[in-house]
Chains A and B, each alone.
Chain A
Amino acid sequence: MVDTQFEVIVIGAGHAGCEAAYIAARIGAKTALVTLDTNSIGQMSCNPAIGGIAKGHLVREVDALGGIMGEVIDATGIQFRLLNRSRGPAVQSPRAQADRNLYRTEMRRRLATTEGLSILEGEVAEIKFIGDRVTGVELADGTVIEARTVVLTTGTFLNGLIHVGKKTFQAGRSGEPASIKLANCIRGIGFKTGRLKTGTPPRLDGRTIDYTKFAVQPGDQRPVPFSFKTDEINRPQIACFIGYTNEAVHDVIRTNLDKSPLYSGDIKGIGPRYCPSIEDKVVKFAEKSRHQIFLEPEGYNTYEIYPNGISTSMAEEVQHEFVRKIAGLENVKLLRPGYAVEYDFVDPRELFATLETKRIRGLFHAGQINGTSGYEEAAGQGIVAGINAARSALDRDAVLLDRAASYIGVMIDDLVTKGADEPYRMFTSRAEMRLSLRYDNADQRLTPLAREIGSIDDADYEAFEQRQRDIDTVKKFLSNTKVTDLGEEKLNEMNLDGSPDSYRGRKLDYLARRPDCSAEKLIEIVKAAIADKAGEKEIVVALNDIRYSGYLKDQETLARRRGRYDDLEIPGHVDFNRISGLSNEVVQKLGNVRPRTIGQAARIPGVTPAAVSILLVEMLRT
C-alpha cells in the first residue's frame, strides 16, 4: 500500500520540481515527488547544458541555499567553461555541457536516497482543496494523496501542444502526454492563464557530421565547479563545435515559410525574443548572411548531437533540407525533428514572493508555469517554493529573498510584480546590485540563511565559515602589504600604466582596484605569498570584493529610487479602492498585483511615486 499522507507534495520532476522536493525533504518535511515517468526525472528537454551568464549565478545561489542542481551538474558535466573570463568578476559565470543521461540518472539517484522524500509515479489530475486551503492531489487513477502544501511545477505539460510544420499533437514533451485534466483544474480555480511557446532543434547523428568544417571549442583547462562543495572536477572533457548557417539554408527557410506554424498563425503562444527559432532569425535579421550554430554532444556514450541555434518548428522534410545545406552537415542524419511547444502558464502576479498562490493557500507554483524559461530559472524558483511549502507545512515563517541580495530574489520580485509578457530569462542587467551579486560570493549572500532554515549540513556550514576566515586573511594581507614590497621584477611584469609614483606608499588593496592591474597576475602573486593560509578560490573572492568596493554606493543610489520603506508590509486585506486619492488606474494595478511591500508597489509599472506616498501614509497610520 502506497503512503498517501505527506506534508508536501511536489508535482512534476523537472528542474523546479527536483529542487523543490529535495529542499523540502532536507528541511524536514515529509515530501512526495509525483511524476508522470520516473525515468524523466531531471530531464533536460532542451539543450544539454547548465549555466551561462546570470544563469550560472542562479545555480550557485541554489547551491548556496542547499540545493541540488550544482552538485549534479558537477558530477555529470562533460565540458566546463567560465564565461567572460576576461571581463569583470561580476559578469563571469560558469557554464557546463551535461551528459544528458548521466544527469538524469544522478538526479534520480540522489533524490531516491534523500531521507523523507518519496518518488511516486502517476498523473496528477486534480488539485484538492477545501475553501481556499489546499488539501492534496488526486491522481488520474483516483488515488488521493493528502498534504498540507502542494508545489506545482508543470513545465510545458499544461495543455501542451506540439507543432512540427502543419502537424500538431497534444504532448508535454516529445513522446510524453500533456496534462489536460490538470490544466482544466487550474483554469477552473480561476487563475489567470496565458499561452507561451518554446522550441527545440532537431537532434543530429554525430557519426554523419563532418567536424572538419567546424571550429573546435574546448572546455577550460581547469573547470570551475558549480557547487561550493565540489573541490575539483577531473573528468575528461569533450569539445563542442562552432559552425554557421548560410544563404542557401536561409533560402530553404524563406521558400517554406508558408509551411511554418510560426508564420501561418498556427502558433499563438509568445516565444522568447532571446531564443528565436531559425525561421525567426532569418525573417527578423534578413540582413545577416549567417547565423552561428554550436554542436553540443549529449554525453560520453552517445552519438546524439544537439545543434544549438537552429531551433525550429518547420515541417520535418524542410528541416532535413535546410540542415543539410549547412557546411559539414551535408550528409547528416536527423534522429528527431525539432518542434515548438505551446503550453499554459499562470500569471505570476497570482503569487506572493514566497511563490504561494494568492487564491489557494498552501499551493505553490514554480518554473515554467510562472512564465519563465530555463533550467536554472526553474531551479531558483523550485528551491524557494520548496522551502516555503515545507516551512508552511511545518508551521514556520515564510522565507523571502531580497532582490538586493540574490538573482533569485530579482527574478521572483520581477515575476510577481511585473508578470511575464514572454518567457522570462535571467540577465545580469536585471539586477540593480549586479556588482555585489557575483557567482563567487553566492555563499556569503545565502548560506547563512540556509543554516537558519536547516537546509545544509553542519560540515558544509563549517566549511563555509572557514572560507570566510580565509577570505579575511587574504584581505588583511592585501591591506598590509605595500605594492613596492612586490619587488621591481614582479611590478615590471604587471605592466602598469603611469609611473611608480602612482603606487608608491600604497598597499596591494589599492592595486587590486586599478583597471590596469591584471587580476590573474595579482592572484598569482598573492597565491605565491600566502599559499599556506588560503586557497585560490578565497583569494579570488577577496580580490573581487575589493575590486568593486568603491562602487557599492553608486549602486545603492541607483537601486534606491525606491527608498527606506521598501520592506514595510502591506497587509493582505487592504482594499485599495477605499484609499482616497489613488487614481482608478493605480487602484486597478495594485489590485492585480496585490503587492506585499511598499517597495514592490513602487516597482509596479504605472504606480506613481505620489501614489506610493499615499499608500505609505495609509500603511503607517494603521
Chain B
Amino acid sequence: MFSDDTIAAISTAPGRGGIGVVRLSGPASLETATSIFHAKSQAQLDQPSRAHLGRVIDPATSEIVDEVILTFFKSPHSYTGEDVVEISCHGSPIILARVLQLAIDRGARIAEPGEFTFRAFLNKRIDLAQAQAVRDVINAQTQYQARVATRQLEGELSIRLTPLKDTLVEVIVHLESSVEFVEEDISPQTASLLLTKLQLVIDALSAIADSFSFGRYLKEGFDLAIVGRPNVGKSSVFNRLIGTDRAIVTELPGTTRDALYESTSISGVPVRLIDTAGIRETTDLVESIGISRSRTAIADADISLLVLDASEPLTGDDIRLLNHVSQERRIIALNKTDLPARFDAASIPAVDGEVISISALTGDGFDLLTGKIFERLSGDAATERDDIMLTDARQHAAVRNAIEQLRDASERMRSGELEEIVLLKLRRALSALGEITGETLTEDILGQIFSTFCIGK
C-alpha cells in the first residue's frame, strides 16, 4: 500500500535542539531533496543508507540555507516503508522551517499529524503495539491542534482572513447563481465587478503573506549594524558574532575606517552584520567619510547594536549616539565587562530597556545577546514562535496557494472562460483559506445564495 504523494515535516521535537531533521517520505522524496541539496562530494545520492555532507541551497536565490547531512533510505527499508530522505540540519527552528518550505515549494505536501508513523503502520513496518503509539501521537497532536486552532480562531490572522473569505464566498455565490438558477429572475453581479472584488482579495492576501515578519526575515535576512564611538570593541563583537577574525582589531581607536559586511546567522535567521566605523567628532577626512557611512548604516539597518565601553566613563560621543538611535531600533551592549567597571547600566541616560553586559574578549554574555537579537527579530517571545512553527508553514502554504488559485481564476474569467471552470479555481482558493479559518461547506454557499436571491420558480 503505497502513497502517491510525498509528505514532508520537521520530525524532531519543536524547539531549539542541536540537530533538527526534516524528513520526506513518498515516491518523490529523493527527487525533491536533491533539487535543493548540493553534495560536497561526487557520491551518488541514490545509494541508500549513506550519509552525504552538503548544503541546502535555495534554488531561487542560490543562497546557502544550511550545511546539512542527507540520508536516503530506499523503500522498503525505511521507517515508513516508502522512499525516505532525512535532512539533518542545525537545530534552529527557523532553518528547519526554511528547509521544509523549500521542499514544499518543490511539490512535497506537509504531513498530517502522525502521518509518517501511520504510513509505517500501513506498510507493515511497525506492529500493533507500536500502532497504539500512533494513536497517542495523534491524540497529542489533536490537543495541540485544538490549542493552536483556538488561538487562531481568536487570532489576528483569522480576523483578517475572515472578511476576505466572505468576499470570496460572495463572488462564488454570484457565479454559482448565474449557472445554477438561469431560469430565475435574478441579476448576479457582472464579471467586471466580481473581478474587482477578486482583485481586492488577492491584494489583501498578498499583503498578509508579505506581512509575516518571520517570513520576510527568512527570505531577505536581517541587517544588524554594530555601532558605537571608537574603540569600544565593535570589531571584537563583530568577530565573535560571526565566529572568525574577519575585522582587524587593534588597540588604536578608529581602526575600522569603512563599514565591513558579513553574513552569518543568529539562531538560524540569516543576518547581515555591519561593523561600522566608530562615531565621534573628528576632523580627519577619511575618518569622517567612514563616520557618515556609519550613520547611513544605522539608518538602513533593521536594528543597531549600540556598544558601550564599561571600562571607561560615558563620553559625549556615547550620549549623542544614544540620542541618535531610537529605542525601538537598538539593543544596548555594555562591552569589556572583563575589566573593572567605571559605570553601571542604571546610570546610562535615556534607557528604559534592558542593557546586556558582554565581554567580546571572553565571550561572556553573548548567549544573552544573541537571544535578545533573536527575540527582537522574531517579534514575539521566541518560545511562542517555536510552538506554532509547523502551523506557520501550513498557513504560508495555504495563503500562497489561495493567491495562486485566485490569480488563475481572475485570468480565466478575463479571458471569458466558462463559469464552472472559474468556480473550480475559486473553490480551491476557498478550500485553501479554509485550512486556516475552517471549511466553508457547500451548504453554507447554498444558504447564502438563498438569502441573497429570491430563488423559487
Closest-CB distance, B115 to chain A (whole angstroms): 8
Alpha-carbon gap, A467 to B416, bound state (A) = 31
Beta-carbon contacts under 8 Å, A214-268 to B: 244
Q: B154 → chain A, closest Cβ, in Å?
A: 19
Is A285 in contact with B454, judged by CB distance below 8 angstroms?
yes
- Are A274's CB and B182's CB within 8 A? no
Alpha-carbon distance between A513 and B442 when the two chains are bound, in angstroms:
28
Query: Is B421's CB within 8 Å of the partner chain A?
Result: yes
* B108-121 near A? 1/0 per residue, CB < 8 Å: 00001111001001
Q: A52-B183, A284-B454, A427-B446 are in contact. Are A551 and B131 (CB under 8 A)?
A: no
A91-B420 in contact given A281-B456, A620-B121 (Cβ < 8 Å) = yes
Tell me, yes or no, whether B381 is within 8 Å of chain A by CB.
no
CB contact between B454 and one of A276, A558, A614 (< 8 Å): that residue:
A276
B122 touching A620 by the CB < 8 A rule? Answer: yes
Which residue of B412, B443, B450 contacts A515 across the interface (Cβ within 8 Å)?
A: B412
Q: Interface stretch among B132-140, B194-202, B388-396?
A: B132-140
- Contact check, A555 vs B139: say whether CB atoms are below 8 A apart: no
Contacts of A84 in B (CB 8 A): 179, 182
B141 and A610 form a contact (CB under 8 A): yes
Residue interface mask B414-455, A partner, CB < 8 A = 1? 011111110111011001000000000111011100100011
Q: Cβ of A359 < 8 Å from any Cβ of B?
A: no
Chain B residues with CB under 8 A of A331: none
Number of interface residues of A (CB under 8 A): 58
- Selected from B122, B181, B427, the residue in CB contact (under 8 A) with A558 is B427
Most buried by B among A244, A309, A548, A613: A613
Instruction: For B430, give the chain A residue with the smallest CB separation.
Output: A558
* CB within 8 Å for A554 and B425 given contacts A428-B179, A605-B441: yes
| Residue B145 lies at the interface, judged by CB distance under 8 Å to chain A | yes
Partner of B180, one of A88, A273, A427, A554: A427
8 Å CB contact of B428 from A285, A548, A554: A554
Cβ-based interface call for A212 (8 A): no
Of B184, B423, B427, the residue contacting A292 (CB under 8 A) is: B184
Q: Are B182 and A581 in contact (CB under 8 A)?
A: no
Interface with B: A429-437, A485-493, A504-512, which one? A429-437
B421 touches A88 (CB 8 A): yes
The answer for the CA separation of A309 and B131 in the assembled complex, in Å, is 59
Establish whether residues B416 and A516, one from each chain, have CB atoms under 8 Å apart when the complex forms: yes
Question: B335 CB to closest chain A CB, in angstroms?
Answer: 51
CB–CB A273/B450 < 8 A: yes
Partner of B142, one of A91, A580, A610: A610
- Name A611's closest neighbour in chain B (CB-CB): B142
Question: Contact mask A34-68 → B, CB, 8 Å, 1/0?
Answer: 00000000000000000011100000000000000
User: Known contacts A291-B185, A515-B417, A610-B145; is A429 also within 8 Å of B176 by CB?
Assistant: yes
Is there a chain B Cβ closer than 8 Å to A578's Cβ?
no
CB within 8 Å of B: which A541-595 residues: 547-548, 551, 554-555, 557-558, 561, 564, 580-581
B3 located at the interface, meaning its Cβ lies under 8 Å from any Cβ of chain A in the complex: yes
**Contact with A435, one of B118, B141, B420, B455 (Cβ below 8 angstroms):** B420
Q: Is the CB of A294 within 8 A of B428?
A: no
**How far in angstroms is the closest Cβ of chain B from A169?**
26
| 1/0 contact string of B72-101 vs chain A (CB within 8 Å) | 000000000000000000000000000000
- Measured between alpha carbons, how far is A290 from B141 in the docked complex, in Å? 55
Interface residues of B in 162-213 (CB under 8 A from A): 176, 179-185
Q: How far is the CA of A276 from the CA of B415 in the complex (A)?
A: 37
Q: Are B456 and A276 in contact (CB under 8 A)?
A: yes
- Hey, which chain A residues are within 8 Å of B184, CB to CB? 292
Residue numbers in A under 8 Å from B145 (CB-CB)? 610
Instruction: Output the nearest chain A residue to B136 by Cβ-Cβ distance.
Output: A581
Determine if B128 is an interface residue (Cβ-Cβ < 8 Å).
yes
CB-CB under 8 A from B455, the residues of chain A are: 273-276
Q: How large is the interface on B (under 10, 10 to 19, 20 to 34, 35 or more residues)?
A: 35 or more
Nearest chain A residue, comparing its CB with the CB of B412: A515
Once the chains are docked, how many angstroms separate the CA of A515 from the CA of B412?
A: 9
Q: Is A617 an interface residue (CB 8 A)?
A: yes
The answer to whether A88 and B418 touch across the interface, beta carbons within 8 angstroms, is: yes
Could you tell me if A83 and B427 are in contact, using CB atoms closer than 8 angstroms?
Answer: no
Q: Provide the residues of chain B in CB contact with A581, threshold 8 Å.
A: 135-136, 138-139
> What residues of B have a CB within 8 angstroms of the CB of A288 in the complex?
454
Contact in complex: B424, A551 (CB < 8 Å): yes
Residue B457 lies at the interface, judged by CB distance under 8 Å to chain A: yes
Q: For the complex, is A597 an interface residue (Cβ under 8 Å from B)?
A: no
Q: Is there contact, CB below 8 Å, between A558 and B441?
A: no
A275 to B453, alpha carbons, bound, how many Å?
12
A292 touching B420, Cβ below 8 Å: no
Name the residue in A54, A274, A285, A614 with the highest tally of chain B Cβ atoms < 10 Å from its Cβ: A274
State whether A613 and B112 are in contact (beta carbons under 8 Å apart), knowing that A84-B182, A427-B180 are contacts in the complex.
Answer: yes
Complex CA distance for A83 and B442, rounded to whole angstroms: 22
Indicate if A609 sits at the interface (CB-CB under 8 A).
yes
Give min CB distance, B142 to chain A, whole Å.
4
Task: Give chain A residues whose Cβ lies under 8 Å from the Cβ of B456.
Answer: 274-276, 280-281, 291, 309, 311
A90 at the binding interface (Cβ < 8 Å): yes
Cα-based distance from A527 to B17 in the complex (angstroms):
70
A557/B428 contact (C-beta < 8 A), A91-B179, A515-B415 known: yes
**B13 vs chain A, min Cβ distance (A):** 19
* B22 CB → nearest A CB, Å: 22
**Shortest Cβ gap from A491 to chain B (Å):** 18
B420 contact set on A, CB distance < 8 A:
87-88, 90-91, 428, 434-435
> For chain A residues 434-453, which have a beta carbon within 8 Å of chain B?
434-435
- Residues of B near A52 (CB, < 8 A) are 183
Roughly how many angstroms separate A396 CA and B454 CA in the complex, as a whole number? 47
> Are B418 and A87 in touch, CB under 8 angstroms?
yes
Per the bound structure, the CA–CA distance linking A557 and B184 in Å amounts to 32
Residue from B4, B428, B457 in contact with A308 in the complex, judged by beta carbons closer than 8 Å: B457
Name the residue on A nearest B435 (C-beta): A561
**Shortest Cβ distance from residue A207 to the other chain B in the assembled complex, whole angstroms:** 24
In the complex, which residues of chain B have a beta carbon less than 8 angstroms from the beta carbon of A244?
185
Q: 9 new A-B pairs (CB below 8 Å) besides A244-B185, A275-B457, A276-B456?
A: A90-B420, A91-B180, A294-B183, A428-B179, A428-B180, A429-B446, A554-B428, A564-B3, A608-B142
Interface pairs (23), CB distance under 8 Å: A54-B180, A83-B182, A290-B185, A291-B456, A308-B457, A309-B456, A427-B180, A428-B420, A429-B423, A429-B442, A497-B415, A551-B421, A551-B424, A564-B4, A581-B136, A610-B138, A613-B115, A613-B138, A614-B135, A616-B118, A617-B118, A617-B134, A617-B135
- A-B residue pairs, 6 tightest by C-beta: A88-B418, A292-B185, A273-B450, A285-B454, A610-B142, A515-B417
